[in-house]
Amino acid sequence: TLFCFCFFAQWVIAQVKLSKTDMVKWDFKQLAINKKQIQTGVALIKPAYKQLLHNADSLLGYKPVSVMQKKDIPPSGNKHDYMSLAPYWWPDPSKPNGIPYKRHDGEVNPEVKNYPDKEQMPKLCENVNTLALAYYYSGNENYAKHAATLMRVWFLDSATNMNPNLNFGQAVKGVTNGRAEGIIDTRLFIYAIDAVQLLKKSSHWTANDQKGLQNWMAEFLVWLRTSKIGINEMNTKNNHAIWYDAQTLSMAIFIDSIDLAKRIIAVSKNRLDKQMDLNGLFPLELSRTTSLHYSIFILNAFNVIAELSEQIGVEYFQAKTNSGKSLKLAFDSLMPYLLQQKQWTHPQIKPFAYTDAFPLILTAERRYGYKGSLDTLAQLLGADLGRLQLKLL
Tens of pLDDT, residue by residue over 94-103, are 998 999 999 9
pLDDT above 70 for 114: yes
Degrees, nearest 5: CA angle 188-374-199: 35
DSSP assignment of 71-120 equals SS--TTS-TTS-EEE-TTEE--TTSGGG-S-EE-TT---GGGGG-HHHHH
The answer, yes or no, to whether residue 252 has pLDDT greater than 80, is: yes
How many Cα atoms sit within 13 Å of 4 on the Cβ side?
4
Residue 375 pLDDT > 60, yes or no?
Answer: yes
**Global pTM?**
0.94
**With 90 as the cut, is the pLDDT of residue 365 above it?**
yes
Better pLDDT: 283 or 16 = 283
Per-residue confidence band for 371, with pLDDT thresholds at 50, 70 and 90: very high
When the pLDDT of each residue in the chain is averaged and rounded to a whole number, the result is: 94
Query: What is the CATH code for 23-229?
Result: 1.50.10.100
Q: pLDDT at residue 133 above 90?
A: yes
In contact, 53 and 133? CB cutoff 8 Å: no
pLDDT of residue 391: 80
In this prediction, residue 19 carries a pLDDT of 59
Across the range 193-216, mean pLDDT stands at: 97
pLDDT of 379 higher than 90: no
The maximal CA–CA distance of the chain, rounded, in angstroms, is 67
Report percent pLDDT > 90 for the chain.
88
Stretch(es) of the chain classified as CATH 1.50.10.100: 23-229, 236-393
- Helix/strand/coil (H/E/C) assignment for every residue in 141-210: HHHHHHHHHHHHHHHHCCCCCCCCCCCEEEEECCCECCCHHHHHHHCCHHHHHHHHHHHCCCCCCCHHHH
Q: Is the pLDDT of residue 1 over 70?
A: no
Query: Predicted confidence band at 75 (pLDDT cuts at 50, 70, 90)?
Result: very high
For residue 46, give the 3-state DSSP assignment.
helix
pLDDT at 16 exceeding the cut of 90: no
Q: Is the pLDDT of residue 378 over 90?
A: no
Asked if pLDDT for residue 177 goes beyond 70, the answer is: yes
What is the structure's pLDDT at 388? 80
Is 215 or 8 the better-scoring residue by pLDDT? 215
Quote the CATH superfamily of domain 236-393. Chondroitin AC/alginate lyase (1.50.10.100)
Taking residues 317-331, report their average pLDDT: 97
Burial class, 343, CB count within 10 angstroms (exposed 0-12 / middle 13-18 / buried 19+): exposed
User: How many Cβ atoms sit within 10 Å of the Cβ of residue 218?
Assistant: 24
Tell me the mean pLDDT in the region 240-244.
99
Can you give the pLDDT at residue 381? 83
Q: Taking residues 228-250, what's their average pLDDT?
A: 98
Per-residue pLDDT tens over the stretch 270-307: 999 999 999 999 999 999 999 999 999 999 999 999 99
Q: What is the pLDDT of residue 191?
A: 95
